Amino acid sequence: MMKLSLQFIIAFISLLIVFNCKSLKDESPIEKEVKYFTSVEIETLIEDSTLNVRALEYFDTNKSFGFLTSTGNFGAILTRDNDYDNNEINKVVYPTFVDSTNSKLNFRSLALVNNFGFALSIGNPALLYRIDSEGEIDLVYQENHPNAFYDSMEFWNDQEGIAIGDPTDDCMSVIITRDGGNTWSKLPCEELPKANEGEAAFAASDTNIATVGDKTWVATGGKSSRILFSADKGQTWDVFDTPIIQGKETTGMYSLDFYDENNGFAIGGDYTDADANQKNKIVTNDGGKTWQVVADGSGPGYRSCVQYVPNSNAQQLIAIGFKGIDYSTDAGQTWKHLSDEDFYTLRFLNDSTAYAAGNGRISKLSFK
């Protein structure tokens, strides 16, 4: 067990105050006036040439964000609790090492639940740290394998969570906790669909997993890009084919999001041919069983993250990547390019404000 710095403790306690892990997308049954965007204003909050962030999470009750970096750090962006409508920044807590004894940590997955934070690294060995509100950290899972590479993590509730990674045997790597993150177990391949040749996943934005209630969708990519689906929080699994571009190690789905249990969207492409926009955007209306290509040959090319705009009835989407920011008002059928500014991942604060992170900066995005 190790102890984190006082700066970390202050930040982490702020993030954990009365945490609520309920999704923004179904936050309230009250219908709100639909907003449509024509532009985006970008305010840089942290700028550092050494910063590389692909794990960014929103903490609902105190309207704050936490992030992990590719160099083993945790940081926080604390917004004013009493100024939610204006979303003014109260404090930016700069990164501090999660484990100062390990200089090679590269974090791509972040979750916070039940007064604990969870930070999952990529590469061999795969290391999953649990961090409590007093700043104590424990290593709760370690996997030593030359092919270990975990891509994304989510929790269904305050006791049950899941992380997925590339295959080490003949199936995707899936680890699950049922005790609030104290212990994690890897599912045997006998309980999972067999991986196709060259099938893996991308640790591009911590959005390979989407959950709604007990239902879970996992996006794979590479030479084969499919949806792994569980209706019962990882107890049983099905697999569904998708029409997204695939066949190379760099192709397939990089990100997916579900607005509700029926409506979902996935985006990706090929980051080595980032302008290509054929067969890189797909939509489902039946819970992921079938998918259709949309905006084929138009709209954005490769993007690393897609998110539904809250309170948009599964119609509005924002997609981001190192080629810019794009917006759809019709479930991905058509797109408007809003900005050339580059980011890797984003999360919404409300239906017009998001926070985005990438290479060298973290920014507040205000959609107008």
pLDDT at position 4, please?
63
Full pLDDT tens readout for the chain, 368 residues: 676 655 555 555 555 544 444 445 555 445 567 789 999 999 999 999 989 999 999 876 556 788 999 999 988 887 764 444 455 555 777 778 888 888 889 999 999 887 788 999 999 999 999 988 777 899 999 999 999 999 999 999 999 999 999 999 999 999 999 999 999 999 999 999 999 999 999 999 999 999 999 999 999 999 999 999 999 999 999 999 999 999 999 999 999 999 999 999 999 999 999 999 999 999 999 999 999 999 999 999 999 999 999 999 999 999 999 999 999 999 999 999 999 999 999 999 999 999 999 999 999 999 99
Q: Distance between CA atoms of 70 and 50, rounded to whole angstroms?
A: 9
Provide the phi-psi class of 198: left if phi over 0, else alpha when psi is between -120 and 50, else beta. left
pLDDT at position 157, please?
94
Token couple for 188: 């045997």
pLDDT at position 89, please?
58
Token couple for 20: 């609520």
Fill in the amino acid letter for 30.
Answer: I
Which residues 6+ apart lie within 8 Å of 222 measured at CB?
198, 199, 200, 201, 246, 248, 249, 250, 251, 252
pLDDT at position 311, please?
96
Q: Distance between CA atoms of 165 and 143, rounded to whole angstroms?
A: 11
DSSP string, 149-203: -EEEEEESSSS-EEEEE--SSSB-EEEEESSTTS--EEPPGGGSPBPPTTEE---
Please state the pTM of the whole predicted model.
0.92
pLDDT at position 81, please?
47
